[in-house]
């Protein structure tokens, strides 16, 4: 039995849960303001909603509500996931309302976003939810009309029996359908029968966004709600010593100022329980402006902390981590990295790379560096919490509610059953909202003041709050024989606080003598997932290096990669190569054709790059010119293979965004430390890409594929960095080994 | 504390508040107009853009005391029926990703088109340069502005 049906069974799926007209909206009053009201206007709201399963409610008038299980952070899953349900349900898409599901682990699985997995992992569950509901409606019609179910067909929310000429809309059969036993096996559609999947559908929230509806966590409001902010240490390596609030406590609108602890000492942290600062000062008041002012009036004394041990549970793997004390600065961090790099551990070795390098006629060696990066979600971290005795109600933007709930329960000592988490739209996530320490902080503050509060981070709190993209370094070496064949490949890579390497990825499998080493430097600067973790650095390094090898041996950079991929396909070296060389070559061939590679245009410099991550393939050709010392990206042509496309135009939008975001990060993204203090705290110094710096055009193509859908939020991102670096090299003859690029261009 | 009468989206509203409070927080905390967003508080990101007497301004950096006697439009006041050409163009091009920056982007675009109905690419770049989008929707924003200009 498929997992959906199993889950639904356990939840006494058979019971009808009919809500009175309007009841649905009363029960989720917060969302009421966010309904796409045109559809309601069009059809009128039903008198009664019938719950068919966790995903689907059908109104007696045929209107359908589909719950979107995962948080929405801009990847458009709130449109894409319901489209999959609607396809198998045979619904009429314009008559579908989409609602964000709350965290509900009884009805939904994997309610989180990250690793470009939402669609991939939800694929079977969503299809089965739709198909099961459809079969129930068919069975209900068969019973009502007294005809065999096998003679019944459905189309766009309608049920037909050709023999008798009978027909009904879904709303007419929903009440009965909800009482029927679950079908044993449901038939899923053949891909060629799809009418919704693979067609472009508009973002279901578009209207709410362009009218400024309260969709985001920061917009959340509740009667009696107070505003809270925190003060965290100015430097990594510091903690709270004492504070004096005498100048702040009597300011207008201020309720309470007190210290909080987001985790008890000795707490065993799970995977996403990273926090930079556990001891904070909380300020609670009536309005944001008043709290912001009071925040400035609190004087705080900080002290350095010493080295300590942190207990971690990495999905069952227990670890005691040593967190070094001290205030770190970039030069020492780099020195430490170079020292540790020389003591790296081998994680893959094929053939005899040492010998290949000894026998080489030529060795190319290059070292690449990537700095810490702040996520800079445009919506700063925030969360609403109301702890009322033993009842917890939270609402806001987070990527992994299912995982955060456990940490919250432990911290508050309140059982999970009493915790309700509402998921609002995320004003960007990119990994940052996987680490929901601010949710715990909000809850602890609410518990202390015994009132509903919304915790808000200022931009400065957000940018200096830690959990950055790690600082990375990779040294690549290539061994060439006298005929310029690539006979050996060696990479030594590591980072502070994690290594960036995937040892089984391309060019693993394509080179006879292949060697990967990795290392880690510990630090008290906290790091975490950042759009396409690890790949966001290593792709830039690897694909720039391949460009340089191709040039050295006088080959076209696309042909050079294709030759390696051919080798990996026909006669792969080693085991466990984690990519499909054919699909990898597929995106390169497609981008080569679409970009008219080989046809040069005056004044335009081109760079190419490709990468595989998160189960999908991407390749870009980037065209730029340098005009009065300014880099102008004229065009990016890209090809992607993410299996079957759900919502093509939305997929395009996401991949266009990845290009822009990557160009910005490659050019400007950087955070450095001086005595533990990050050198930027707002957008005046942290430069983000702006309109005039974005490519003039982005042409996106997808490889047609019947393969089950894979991720897309991240795969388009990593390869762009090197496409830019390689194009810049063509323009000015200077190879770029260090991110960000912009400071090296002047 | 002082009382201010503000003309917002064609309605006069009165607030009793610290004169230094930025308009952004008056809108968000006191008038329940949360479409205008906070992003940086220092006039660098454009998330808080509103139109004041026909010009796009950053509401995070203008105190409420400077708002009296002006005419303010926020995203909520653009149209009754979601039919402002810029809103329509935004939906036609399905511009938003996370959507957080979009109210600010739209307000900057509306002000641009009011002052310059047929902007060149360069005009668009200049007018929109104060609005950051981390999701990287700039290419679609530009297309949507051109569509709106032609309608
Ligand atoms: S919040 Fe006003 S410009 Fe950023
Ligand atoms: S759409 Fe997400 S920041 Fe612009």
Q: Give every CB contact of residue B22 below 8 A, 6+ residues apart in sequence.
A: A289, B41, B59, B60, B61, B62, B63, B64
CB–CB contacts below 8 A, A to B = 189
Which residue has 């609005």 as its token pair? B131
Cis peptide before A497 (omega within 30 of 0): yes
Q: Quick: pLDDT tens for A384-395.
A: 999 999 999 999
Domains A223-308+379-463 and A534-744 agree in fold = yes
Taking the C-alpha atoms of residue A452 and residue A462, their distance in angstroms, rounded to an integer, is 22
Task: Determine the atom of ligand 2 nearest the C-alpha atom of A427.
Answer: 2
**A463 three-class SS:** helix
Ligand 1, from B27, B51, B101, B104: best to mutate by most atoms within 8 Å of Cβ? B104
Q: Give every CB contact of residue A566 below 8 A, 6+ residues apart in sequence.
A: A581, A585
Q: SS3 letters for A79-121?
A: HHHHHHHHHHHCCCHHHEEEEECCCCCCCCCCCCCCCCCHHHH
Centroid of chain to Cα A623: 28
Q: Which part of chain B is CATH 3.10.20.30?
A: 2-75
**B31 three-class SS:** coil
Structure tokens at B33: 């107009």
The percent of chain B in helix, strand and coil, each rounded to the nearest 5, is 40, 20, 45
CA dihedral A124, A126, A128, A130 (to 10 degrees): -150
Interface test with B, best of A39, A204, A212, A457 (most B CBs within 10 A): A212
Interface test with B, best of A35, A75, A209 (most B CBs within 10 A): A209
Model pLDDT, residue A4: 28
Query: Which ligand number lies closest to the CA of residue B43?
Result: 1
Residues of chain A with pLDDT under 70: 1-43, 115-116
Chain A residues whose CB is inside 8 A of the B96 CB are 74, 203, 205-206, 209-210
**A216 three-class SS:** strand
Ligand 2, from B39, B109, B134, B144: best to mutate by most atoms within 8 Å of Cβ? B134
> Mutual orientation of helices A718-732 and A648-668 as an angle, nearest 10°?
50
The percent of chain A in helix, strand and coil, each rounded to the nearest 5, is 35, 25, 40
A649 CA distance to ligand 1 middle (Å) = 30
Q: Which part of chain B is CATH 1.10.150.120?
A: 85-149
Structure tokens at A463: 């940018």
Across the range B12-19, mean pLDDT stands at 97
Q: Which residues of A604-614 are buried (b: 16+ CB within 10 A; e: fewer)?
A: ebbbbbbbbbb
Taking the C-alpha atoms of residue B108 and residue B127, their distance in angstroms, rounded to an integer, is 7
CB pairs under 8 A, 24+ apart, for A553-556? A553/A480, A553/A484, A553/A486, A554/A484, A556/A598
A74 with B135: Cβ contact below 8 A: yes
Q: Quick: pLDDT tens for B47-68.
A: 999 999 999 999 999 999 999 9
A690 CA distance to ligand 1 middle (Å) = 14
Query: Which ligand number lies closest to the CA of residue B136?
Result: 2
Q: Quick: pLDDT tens for A404-446.
A: 888 999 999 999 999 999 999 999 999 999 999 999 999 999 9
Searching chain A, which residue's CA lies closest to the CA of residue B37? A379
Task: Determine the atom of ligand 1 nearest the C-alpha atom of B48.
Answer: 2
By the 10 Å C-beta count (0-12 exposed, 13-18 middle, 19+ buried), A738 is classed as middle
Q: SS3 letters for A413-445?
A: CCCHHHEEEEECECCCCCCHHHCCHHHHHHHHH
CATH for B2-75 is: 3.10.20.30
Where along chain A do its domains lie? 7-210, 223-308+379-463, 534-744
Model pLDDT, residue A108: 80
Q: Quick: pLDDT tens for B30-43.
A: 999 999 999 999 99
CATH for A223-308+379-463 is: 3.30.365.10
* Kind plus residue range of the DSSP H or E element containing A475: strand A471-480
A688 with B106: Cβ contact below 8 A: no
Please tell me the number of Cα atoms within 13 Å of A449 on its side-chain side. 29
B76 with A207: Cβ contact below 8 A: no
Searching chain B, which residue's CA lies closest to the CA of residue A698? B139
Chain B residues whose CB is inside 8 A of the A287 CB are 21, 25, 29-30
> Mutual orientation of helices B138-149 and B85-92 as an angle, nearest 10°?
130
Query: Which ligand number lies closest to the CA of residue B99?
Result: 2
Model pLDDT, residue A116: 67
Query: Which ligand number lies closest to the CA of residue A425?
Result: 2
Q: Which of A559, A570, A555, A569 is nearest to A483 (CA)?
A: A555
Chain B residues whose CB is inside 8 A of the A427 CB are 37, 98-101
Model pLDDT, residue A401: 85
> Mutual orientation of helices B138-149 and A648-668 as an angle, nearest 10°?
120
Interface test with B, best of A211, A288, A464 (most B CBs within 10 A): A211
Structure tokens at A178: 């909800």
Structure tokens at A257: 């100022």
Strand partners, A365: A477
Backbone angles phi, psi at A262, to 5 degrees: -75, -25
Q: Which of A71, A118, A94, A113 is nearest to A215 (CA)?
A: A71
A508 CA distance to ligand 1 middle (Å) = 46
Backbone angles phi, psi at A383, to 5 degrees: -165, 145
Q: Give every CB contact of residue B130 below 8 A, 6+ residues apart in sequence.
A: A690, B43, B44, B45, B46, B49, B56, B58, B108
Backbone angles phi, psi at A494, to 5 degrees: -165, -175
Q: Which of A471, A740, A536, A469 is nearest to A631 (CA)?
A: A740
**Cα distances (Å, whole numbers) of residue A475 to A282, A300, A516:** 44, 43, 10
Quick one: how many helices (H) and strands (E) in chain B? 5, 5
Chain A residues whose CB is inside 8 A of the B104 CB are none
Cis peptide before A519 (omega within 30 of 0): no
Which residue has 């070559």 as its token pair? A585
Which residues line ligand 2 at a C-beta cut-off of 6 Å?
A 74, 378, 428; B 96-102, 133-135, 137
Strand partners, A317: A314
A661 with B135: Cβ contact below 8 A: yes
B98 with A73: Cβ contact below 8 A: yes
DSSP characters for A335-383?
HHHHHHHTT-EEEEEES-HHHHHHH-SEEEEEEEEE-BB----SS--EE
CATH for A534-744 is: 3.30.365.10
Which residue, judged by its Cα, is nearest atom 3 of ligand 2?
A: B133
Taking the C-alpha atoms of residue A18 and residue A11, their distance in angstroms, rounded to an integer, is 16
Q: Which fold has domain A7-210?
A: Aldehyde Oxidoreductase; domain 4 (3.30.365)
Q: Which of A548, A557, A577, A567 is nearest to A510 (CA)?
A: A567
DSSP characters for A527-591?
B---SSTTHHHHHHHHHHHHHHHHHHTT--HHHHHHHHHHHHHHS--SS---S-HHHHHHHHHHH
CB atoms within 10 A of CB A280: 25
Taking the C-alpha atoms of residue A401 and residue A250, their distance in angstroms, rounded to an integer, is 37
CATH 3.40.440.10 fits B85-149, yes or no: no
Model pLDDT, residue A39: 52
A297 CA distance to ligand 1 middle (Å) = 22
Backbone angles phi, psi at A143, to 5 degrees: -70, -45
């Amino acid at each position: 039995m498929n997992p959906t049906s199993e889950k639904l069974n356990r939840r006494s799926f058979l019971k009808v849960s009919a809500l009175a007209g309007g009841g649905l909206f009363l029960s989720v009053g917060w969302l009421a303001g966010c309904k796409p009201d045109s559809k309601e206007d069009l059809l009128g709201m039903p008198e009664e909603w019938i719950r068919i399963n966790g995903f689907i409610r059908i109104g007696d008038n045929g209107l359908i509500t589909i719950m979107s299980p995962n948080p929405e952070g801009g990847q458009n899953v709130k449109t894409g996931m319901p489209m999959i349900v609607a396809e198998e349900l045979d619904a009429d898409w314009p008559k579908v309302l989409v609602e964000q599901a709350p965290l509900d682990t009884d009805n939904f699985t994997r309610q989180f976003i990250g690793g470009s997995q939402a669609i991939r992992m939800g694929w079977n569950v969503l299809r089965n939810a739709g198909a099961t509901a459809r079969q129930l409606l068919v069975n209900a019609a068969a019973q009502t009309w007294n005809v065999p179910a096998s003679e019944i067909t459905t189309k766009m929310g309608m049920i037909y029996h050709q023999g008798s000429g009978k027909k009904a809309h879904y709303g007419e059969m929903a009440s009965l359908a909800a009482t029927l036993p679950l079908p044993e096996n449901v038939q899923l559609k053949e891909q060629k029968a799809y009418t919704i999947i693979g067609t472009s559908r508009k973002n279901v929230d578009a209207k709410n966004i362009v009218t400024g509806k309260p969709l985001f966590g920061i917009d959340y409001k509740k009667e009696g709600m107070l505003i809270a902010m925190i003060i965290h240490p100015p430097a990594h390596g510091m903690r709270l010593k004492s504070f004096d609030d005498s100048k702040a406590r009597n300011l207008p609108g201020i309720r309470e100022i007190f210290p909080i602890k987001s985790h008890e000492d000795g707490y065993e942290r799970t995977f996403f329980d990273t926090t930079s600062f556990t001891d904070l000062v909380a300020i609670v008041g009536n309005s944001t402006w008043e709290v912001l002012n009071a925040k400035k009036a609190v004087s705080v004394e900080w002290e350095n902390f010493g080295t300590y041990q942190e207990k971690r549970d990495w999905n069952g793997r227990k670890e005691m981590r040593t967190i070094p004390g001290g205030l770190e600065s970039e030069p020492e961090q780099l020195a430490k990295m170079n020292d540790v790099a020389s003591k790296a551990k081998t994680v893959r070795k094929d053939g005899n790379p040492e010998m290949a390098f000894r026998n080489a006629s030529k060795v190319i060696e290059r070292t690449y560096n990537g700095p810490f990066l702040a996520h800079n979600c445009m919506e700063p971290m925030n969360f609403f919490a109301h702890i009322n005795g033993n009842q917890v109600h939270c609402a806001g933007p987070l990527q992994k509610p299912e995982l955060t709930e456990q940490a919250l329960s432990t911290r508050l000592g309140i059982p999970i059953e009493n915790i309700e988490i509402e998921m609002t739209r995320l004003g960007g996530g990119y990994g940052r909202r996987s680490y929901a320490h601010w949710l715990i902080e909000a809850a602890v503050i609410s518990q202390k003041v015994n009132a509903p509060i919304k915790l808000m981070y200022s931009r400065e709190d957000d940018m200096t709050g830690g959990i950055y993209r790690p600082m990375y370094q990779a040294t690549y070496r290539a061994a060439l024989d006298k005929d310029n064949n690539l006979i050996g490949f060696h990479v030594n890579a590591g980072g502070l606080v994690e290594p960036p390497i995937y040892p089984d990825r391309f060019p693993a499998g394509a080179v006879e003598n292949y060697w990967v080493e990795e290392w880690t430097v510990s630090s008290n600067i906290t790091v975490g997932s950042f759009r396409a973790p690890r790949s966001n650095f290593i792709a830039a390094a690897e694909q720039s290096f391949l460009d340089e090898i191709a040039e050295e041996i006088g080959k076209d950079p696309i042909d050079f990669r294709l030759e390696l991929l051919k080798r990996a396909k026909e006669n792969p070296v080693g085991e466990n190569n984690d990519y499909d060389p054919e699909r990898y070559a597929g995106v390169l061939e497609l981008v080569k054709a679409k970009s008219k590679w080989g046809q040069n245009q005056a004044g335009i410099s081109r760079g190419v790059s490709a990468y595989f991550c998160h189960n999908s393939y991407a390749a870009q050709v980037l065209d730029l010119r340098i005009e009065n010392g300014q880099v102008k990206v004229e065009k990016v042509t890209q090809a992607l293979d993410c299996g079957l496309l759900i919502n093509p135009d939305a997929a395009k939008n996401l991949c266009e965004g990845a290009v822009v975001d990557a160009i910005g990060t490659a050019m400007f993204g950087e955070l450095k430390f001086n005595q533990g203090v990050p050198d930027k705290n707002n957008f005046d110094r942290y430069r983000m890409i702006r309109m005039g710096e974005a490519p003039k055009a982005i042409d996106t193509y997808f490889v047609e594929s019947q393969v089950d859908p894979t991720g897309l939020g991240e795969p388009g991102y990593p390869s762009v960095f090197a496409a830019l670096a390689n194009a810049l090299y063509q323009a000015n003859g200077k190879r770029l080994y260090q991110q960000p690029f912009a400071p090296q261009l002047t | 504390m002082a009382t201010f009468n503000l003309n917002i989206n064609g309605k006069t509203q009165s607030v009793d508040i610290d004169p230094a409070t930025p308009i952004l927080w008056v809108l968000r905390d006191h008038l329940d107009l949360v479409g205008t967003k906070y992003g940086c508080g220092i006039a660098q990101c454009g998330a808080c853009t509103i139109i004041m007497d026909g010009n796009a301004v950053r509401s995070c950096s203008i105190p409420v005391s400077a708002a009296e006697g002006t005419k303010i439009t926020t995203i909520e006041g653009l149209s009754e029926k979601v039919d402002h050409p810029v809103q329509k163009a935004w939906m036609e091009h399905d511009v938003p990703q996370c959507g957080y920056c979009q109210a600010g982007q739209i307000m900057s675009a509306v002000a641009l088109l009011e002052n310059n109905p047929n902007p060149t690419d360069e005009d668009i770049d200049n007018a929109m340069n104060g609005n950051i989008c981390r999701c990287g929707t700039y290419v679609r924003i530009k297309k949507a502005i051109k569509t709106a200009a032609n309608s």
